[in-house]
Structure 1
Amino acid sequence: MNPAAFPPPDPSTVAPDEAPVAPPYAAAPSGWPTPTAWPAPQQAPEPQPSIHAPYSSLLYLPDPRVRWGLPTAVLTIAGIVVPLAVLILLFGFGVLPYSPALAFAGAFGSYLIGLVVPILASRLRGLKSLAADFGLRFRWIDVPIGIGLGIAVRIAIVLVLLGFSPFLQDAQGNLELEPDPLWFVLSSVVIPVVVAPIVEEILCRGVVMRAVRNRMLRTRAEAAPPTRGRRVWAAVFSIIASTLVFALLHGHQMVNPATIATLGVTTVVAGLAHGWISTVTGRLGAAIISHATLNGTAVLLLVLVTALG
C-alpha cells in the first residue's frame, strides 16, 4: 500500500484531548459585575437577655418595675421568726403555760404575719400580682411532678441519714402527736402539710431566691447586659441562698447535734430540690406540692412509728 495515498490529517480539524471546562456561571452581559465566589452564610445572632424572658430562662432579666428586693426578704423572715421566737421564749420561761391551742395559734399567726410583707411589697413596689412577682402559680402538671419530687427527696434524705444512723440516736423530730384528734389535725396536719409549704415556699423560693437573682442581674441602663457566666451564677447562687434561709427557718427546732444533723440534711436537700424545680419551671406550684408531700410523709411515718411502737 502506498503511504502517500493517506496524507496526515489537518491539525485544525482534530479535536483536542481535553475540552475546555465551561465557567460555573453563564457569561454576564457586557457591563455587569462578574461573580467570583458564593457569599458566606450568615449566622443567626445570639439571643440577648431581656426583661421579657421568663424566669425559667437564662436570658431572664428583672423587670425594672419590680422595686422590692433583699429588704423585703429580711422583713418577711422577721415577720415569721420574731413572733414564733417570742412565743417559744414565753413557753420556755413559764410565762405562758403550754397548750395545743396557743401553739397552733402562734404558728398560724406567725405564718400569716409573714405573708403580709410579700403582699404589700407586690402591691406597692412590684407588679401587683403574687404570680408575676413571686411565681405563685399552679398547673395540673405540678401535682405529679411535685409528688414525685417530694417522694424522691424523702428517699434521698433517708439514704443519707442511714449512713450516719449510729450517731443520730438522740435526734428529735420537729413534729409531735397531740392526743386530742382536733389539735393533731390542726397542729400536725394543717400547719406542716398545708400552711407551711405555701408560706415557706413564697418566702424562700418566691421572695429570697428572686430577690437575690434580681440583685445580681440588675445593671445600669448604660451598662452592657450581664454575661452568660454571670447569669448562670446568679441562678445557682439564688438557689443556694434560698436553701440557707430555709434551713435557718428551722433553727429553733435544732436542739442538739443529732437533731442539727438530721434537720440540716433534710432542709438542705429539700431546699436545693425546691429551688431547682422553682427555677426551671418559673413557678412555685411543683415546689409547694413537693414540700407538702415531704411533710406529709413525715407525719405518716410518725403515726406509723407511734402505732407500732
Structure 2
Amino acid sequence: MESGVGFVAAFVLISLLTGWLRGAVYYDPHLVLLSSYAVVWVPFLGAVLVASYIRGTRSLARDIGLRITWLDVFFGVGAGLLARAAAGLVEIALTGRMVGMGVSFGDAVYDGWWLFGTILAPVLLAPFIEELFFRGLLLRAVHRASIGLLGSRTATVIAILVSSLLFALLHLTQAANPMAALILGVSAFLFGLAAATIAAFTGRIGGSIVAHIVFNGALVLTSL
C-alpha cells in the first residue's frame, strides 16, 4: 500500500509543480531546483519510512534490503556501465547521434547550488532515494502480492517488470518532447530491469544503488 500511495503522491506533486511553472511569470531557479527533487523525494521517503518504521520491523536492512557487499559493488558498476552504454545505443538508433538526451548544465557557476544540482542530487541522493523506493519497497511489495497466486519465479519476474515500468513512467515526466520521452522511457526501463534483477536475486539494494550512481554519473560526466 505504501508504495502505491508514494508513487501516486509523487506523480500528483510533479503535475502540480509542472502546472505552476507553466503559468508562472517569474520563479526562483533555486526554489525550482529544490522543489523538482522534493516532489519526488518526500513521498518516496515517506512511503519507505512508514513501511519500515510503522508497519515493518524498523530495520531498513530487513524491510528494504539496505545492505551492500563488495560483490554488490562489482555487479553494480558493471550493470551501471552496461545500462548507460545501452541507453547511448538507444539514442543513436532513434536519433542517429548521441547527445546525452539533451542534458546540459549551461554556464556553470561553481557554488553550492552547482554542487547540489550537478553532483549531489542527480548522482548521489536521487539514486539512493529512488532505489530505496523502487527496488527496496516497490519490488518487494509487488513480489509479496504476487507470490501467493503465481509462485515465486513468476512473482519475481512480475515484480521486476512492474518496478521497471513504473520507474520508466516516472522519468517520462522529464521529457520535453515525444522523442525525448521515447529515449528516456526506453533507457529508464532498461536500467530498471538491470537494477531490479540485481536486487531481486541478491535480496539487497546495495548493487542497484551503485548501478544507479554509475548510470547517472556517467551521463553527468559526459555533459560537463
> TM-score by structure 2 length?
0.89
Tell me the CA shift for residue 78 of structure 1. Answer: 3.1
Match of 1:281 among 186, 202, 221: 202
Of residues 34, 53, 68, the one that matches 1:105 is 34
2:153 counterpart of 1:232: yes
Aligned-pair CA distance for 1:299:
0.6
* Correspondence list, 1:45-124, <5 A: 71-94=1-24, 97-110=26-39, 111-124=41-54
Paired residue secondary structure (2:76): helix
Aligned-pair distance for 1:243? Answer: 0.5
Match of 1:269 among 175, 180, 190: 190
Residue 134 of structure 2: which of 194, 204, 221 is its match?
204
Work out the number of aligned pairs and report it: 222
By how many angstroms is 1:253 displaced? 1.3
1:125-179 per-residue CA deviation (whole Å, 9 max, x = no partner) reads: 122211111111122332232112111111122223322224x799953554463
8 Å contact kept, 1:278–1:286? yes
Alpha carbons of structure 1 residues 260 and 142: separation in structure 2 relative to 1, 3 Å: same
Change (3 A) 1:169 1:154: closer
**1:230 maps to amino acid:** G
Unaligned runs of 5+ in 1: 1-70, 219-225, 304-309
**Paired amino acid for 1:189:** I
Distance (Å, rounded) in 2 between the aligned partners of 1:275 and 1:211: 13
Mapped partners of 1:113, 1:177: distance in 2: 30
Asked if structure 1 preserves the Cα contact closer than 8 Å seen for 2:69 and 2:206, the reply is: yes
Higher relative CO (CA 8 A, sep ≥ 6), structure 1 or 2?
2
Q: Which amino acid aligns with 2:215?
A: L
Aligned match of 1:180:
109
Distance 2:118 2:219 in 1: 10
Q: Which amino acid aligns with 1:126?
A: G
Alpha-carbon distance in 1 for matches of 2:89, 2:146: 35
Matches within 5 A, 1:244-255: 244-255=165-176
2:83 maps to which residue?
153
Contact 1:213 1:238 in 2 (8 A): yes
- Residue 36 of structure 1 corresponds to none
How far apart are the structure 2 equivalents of 1:161 and 1:85?
26
Alignment correspondent of 1:37: none
1:46-87: CA deviation from partner (whole Å, max 9, x where unpaired): xxxxxxxxxxxxxxxxxxxxxxxxx21111113433333322
Provide closer, same or farther for how the CA distance between residues 253 and 294 of structure 1 changes in structure 2, counting only shifts above 3 A.
same
Q: Which amino acid aligns with 2:124?
A: V
Contact 2:101 2:184 in 1 (8 A): no
CA contact (8 A) 2:88 2:98 kept: no
Cα RMSD for the two superposed structures:
2.3
CA distance in 2, matches of 1:174, 1:117: 29
TM-score by length of 1: 0.66
